[in-house]
Amino acid sequence: MNTRKHGWPKESRSISSVCSSIGLGIIFLVLALPNSVAWGQNFRRGGQEFRYLRPIALPPDASTPIVVVEFYHHGAIQSDGKNVIVATGNELPPMRVLQLGPGDFCRLAFQTIATRSPYEILYGGPPFPDERRPAWTADAGLLLEVRAYRDCNLNNLDSVRQAFETAPPIGADYVAGVQHAGNPFTLSAEPYFSRYSGFLAISRGGTYGFFTSSQDCSFLLIDGKVVAQAPGRHEPTRWAKPETRHDIRLDPGRHRFEYYHASTTEAGVAVAAWEVEPKGPKPAMPSAIPPEAFRADAIVRPQVGPPSAPDQRFLPDFSFRIVSDIPLPNNDVPLIAVEFSEAGPSALAGSPRVVWDFGDGQTAEGSKVGHVFLRPGIYSVKLSLIRAGRPFEISNRIQIDRPRLNPQDKTLILDDVIGILEGYQPASLEPALLLQLVRAYLAKADQYLPPPPANTIFVDQEQAAATPAKDPKELEKQRLKYQKMALDAIKTALAGAPAQKGEGSVWLELANVGESLAREVFVDAATAVEVWRGCLARVQDPIAKAECHLALADVSINDMADPPSAQSHLEEADHLLGGAAAKPELYRKHQRVLGDYNAATGNAEAAVAAYRRAEESATAHQNEIERTAWRGAHSRSTEEFLQNREWERAIHEIRLWQDEFPADTIEGYLPLVTAKYWAGRQRHDLVTALADRLLVVNPYSPYIEELLLLSAKSDVARGQHERAAATLESLLKDYPGSPLVEQSRQMLETLRQSASQGK
């Protein structure tokens, strides 16, 4: 269990605080429950029993006709909202559920009635009959409803209205006027419908000119008649023109108001305005329809107290604040920082043990804690207060999404939350969350990359001169630290028998990242094998399994010099792929690794044929000019990385090269630079293996002599002097015209002298 305490900057605000005008705030208040509650019995109101009760902190002198409240119902309210009511004493005021979800969120409105009793929310249990619910009669307020978009005719009101009525709801609340940019209830990049409905309170009869500006279509109706419209798909109108104003005469009193809007993107805009008693056809000074025209002041938003159950008088409660999203490089899925606070009744206060389970496999302790969710989503967060060994628990499904921040709000960066992420338990994370954790570690590791060389186009020389120089060894140490954390997280998650299979694409991505770290950074072939075996045990799709088998064969041959271990994996991959059509890039890799296997086992004809088949697959989407340019780029980059001893970048470039140009293995230069890499990594057994393979595939390669000499040097480095001497003798005999003859002869003489002297 991770015990953490973290306070986020108070300047950051969540979507709930920014969009207070549409009531997205989530506020909990510690309140004393009414003395009239009979503990140990079910809560009975309106002739029916309920499982939970929440008090409402409505001021005693409140005279506003409509009350809007928000709370989380811990899974007790049905999806249709039929098992929740509001009561005051034995009376039931008119009530309407405005929004259920995401998760366990509930927003409802009710009308106040003349009573001295406190108001209560009762929920849970069977549905409450509709015929026993008082009808809604209030006409104050402007209700905004947002629903998911469905295809319709944006030029036709009836089509838009019908599509809206059948679309899934997203959110609803009372607002002050018709004005929004983007979906007010979510930052998700999806199109949507919106509808405003209510009554206009006209105190003085006269002429009113109405405007609408929207992206895309909008229709404004008064008493059921369209008075302004902007049909179709278009940008919002920036300026009021004579043709954009529509004048009608309104008598004093109430007038039915409706406004339909559809946005085919997430960035929809909708504004309704008017001009009172316009002086002429040219718009003079249009303004937003004021909140008092909708009697917006008739709505109050009190706080809701913690829940109670008949068998447990005191239940815990909590509030949360979405503080900031934290973007990761080259990743459109952000991390989300959230602050949680315990907000239960005072009877549970004191010094209980406060334990949080965030629903993502991570936990923490403390009355106020910060947590980083690795991706947006709905999470079941459980709060446990433990006193004298007795737990008091509550769990709510809450939506964690990007906050809507103002420009002045402070946002967090990865450095602000990396301390929390370092304490995460990878084994308890779902695959998609684990991938995000790995990406976060690698993003942090990349912060320690050395700066580009001086005097390049990538460097601001003035800024570089003012920046203190950092110790390259310390930078490398920190970078390796976070790369190791990423690799360890993948290993931990893939260790042992899988709890469940599935999530194939995510497991494959994790395995590919783990393989790159193991092979390219830490030169750890055994861990690469462990990672791919873990992935193989978790994926079900035949193509995904084939990818695992090919990776295992590749590592066995090219990183472990163990061709026999690769044979069964190649055969299984061939069976699963079923030819080139299934997935061309895997077919190409299969043929390339098959070529490596045949070269390693001495079958020259089969090796060359496999390399050729791989090359034919690779050339299908490139012309010769492009391929020549890319081959040269790989070659030059690899040479530079080797010269600068940038081993990680060198082997990464080599692997790209061999996958894109598999037949270059036959020509010989690719095996030579690969051998130079392994020599630099002190893996001399792989240098000699590469030399042996090139002798099989192409003994007449123009690079064979240099590779044989390097092989002999590697044999000396690993104490295989007799093998080194045999290689040199073969070089002198088979390639007498080589420019390396003299160097080879001197080396051979040195070996013979050492042997004669017993060294």
Is it the case that residue 683 has pLDDT exceeding 60?
yes
Q: Locate 441 and state its tokens.
A: 């570690």
Query: Band of the pLDDT at 387, cuts 50, 70, 90?
Result: confident
pLDDT digits (tens, 9 = 90+) for 37-81: 444 467 899 889 999 999 998 876 667 789 999 999 999 999 999
Q: What percent of the chain has pLDDT over 90?
A: 74
Q: What is the mean pLDDT of residues 564-588?
A: 86
Residues sharing a CB contact under 8 Å with residue 226, sequence separation 6 or more, in sequence order: 157, 219, 220
Q: What percent of the chain has pLDDT over 70?
A: 89
Same topology for domains 141-294 and 318-424, yes or no? no
Q: Locate 141 and state its tokens.
A: 């307020």
Q: Which of 222, 217, 214 is nearest to 272 (CA)?
A: 214
3-state secondary structure of 185: coil
Phi, psi torsion values for 748, nearest 5 degrees = -65, -40
Is it the case that residue 640 has pLDDT exceeding 70?
yes
Is it the case that residue 707 has pLDDT exceeding 70?
yes
Task: Find out whether 304 and 28 touch, Cβ atoms under 8 Å.
Answer: yes
Is it the case that residue 499 has pLDDT exceeding 70?
no
Query: Band of the pLDDT at 468, cuts 50, 70, 90?
Result: low
Quick one: 526 exposed, middle or buried, by C-beta within 10 A (0-12, 13-18, 19+)?
Answer: exposed
Task: Find out whether 246 and 209 touch, Cβ atoms under 8 Å.
Answer: yes
Rounded Cα–Cα distance for residues 416 and 422 (Å): 12
What pLDDT is recorded for position 8? Answer: 56
Task: Find out whether 316 and 72 touch, Cβ atoms under 8 Å.
Answer: no
Rounded Cα–Cα distance for residues 89 and 477 (Å): 68
Cα 473 to Cα 481, 486, 510, 514, distances in angstroms:
12, 20, 28, 24
pLDDT digits (tens, 9 = 90+) for 130-173: 999 999 999 999 999 999 999 999 999 999 999 999 999 999 99
Specify the residue for token string 């949080």. Answer: 356
Q: Please report, for the chain, the start and end positions of each structural domain, with discontinuous segments joined by +.
A: 141-294, 318-424, 663-759
Query: Band of the pLDDT at 466, cuts 50, 70, 90?
Result: low
Residues sharing a CB contact under 8 Å with residue 182, sequence separation 6 or more, in sequence order: 266, 267, 268, 269
DSSP string, 647-667: HHHHHHHHHHHHHH-TTHHHH
Is it the case that residue 2 has pLDDT exceeding 80?
no
Task: Find out whether 510 and 494 touch, Cβ atoms under 8 Å.
Answer: yes
Rounded Cα–Cα distance for residues 78 and 101 (Å): 11
Is it the case that residue 405 has pLDDT exceeding 70?
yes
Query: Band of the pLDDT at 611, cuts 50, 70, 90?
Result: very high
Between 641 and 15, residue with greater pLDDT: 641
Is it the case that residue 247 has pLDDT exceeding 90?
yes
Instruction: Determine the topology of domain 318-424 in CATH.
Output: Immunoglobulin-like (2.60.40)
Between 315-324, 485-494, 578-587, the lowest mean confidence (pLDDT) is in 578-587
Between 83-87, 283-287, 410-414, the lowest mean confidence (pLDDT) is in 283-287
Residues sharing a CB contact under 8 Å with residue 247, sequence separation 6 or more, in sequence order: 207, 208, 209, 210, 278
Is it the case that residue 565 has pLDDT exceeding 50?
yes
Is it the case that residue 598 has pLDDT exceeding 60?
yes
What pLDDT is recorded for position 545? Answer: 94
Mean pLDDT of all residues belonging to the chain:
88
Task: Find out whether 60 and 89 touch, Cβ atoms under 8 Å.
Answer: no
Q: What is the mean pLDDT of residues 375-393?
A: 91
Task: Find out whether 667 and 675 touch, Cβ atoms under 8 Å.
Answer: no
Task: Find out whether 439 and 54 touch, Cβ atoms under 8 Å.
Answer: no
What pLDDT is recorded for position 14? Answer: 32
Q: Three-state SS string across 411-462, please?
A: CCCHHHHHHHHCCCCHHHCCHHHHHHHHHHHHHHHHCCCCCCCCCCCCCCHH
Query: Band of the pLDDT at 1, cuts 50, 70, 90?
Result: very low
- The class (CATH top level) of 141-294 is mainly beta
Query: Band of the pLDDT at 756, cuts 50, 70, 90?
Result: confident
Q: What is the mean pLDDT of residues 338-350?
A: 78
Is it the case that residue 425 has pLDDT exceeding 90?
yes
What pLDDT is recorded for position 624? Answer: 78
pLDDT digits (tens, 9 = 90+) for 187-197: 888 999 999 99
3-state secondary structure of 160: helix
Q: Three-state SS string across 490-519, please?
A: HHHHHCCCCCCCCCHHHHHHHHHHHHHHHH
Query: Which CATH homologous superfamily contains domain 663-759?
Result: Tetratricopeptide repeat domain (1.25.40.10)
Q: Which of 276, 181, 289, 311 is nearest to 235 (CA)?
A: 181
Q: Which of 696, 704, 694, 692 is nearest to 731 (CA)?
A: 704
Phi, psi torsion values for 235, nearest 5 degrees = -80, 160
Query: Band of the pLDDT at 350, cuts 50, 70, 90?
Result: low
What pLDDT is recorded for position 10? Answer: 46
Between 727 and 36, residue with greater pLDDT: 727
Cα 315 to Cα 50, 368, 388, 612, distances in angstroms:
16, 17, 16, 71
DSSP string, 362-377: -EEESSEEEEEESS-E
3-state secondary structure of 719: coil
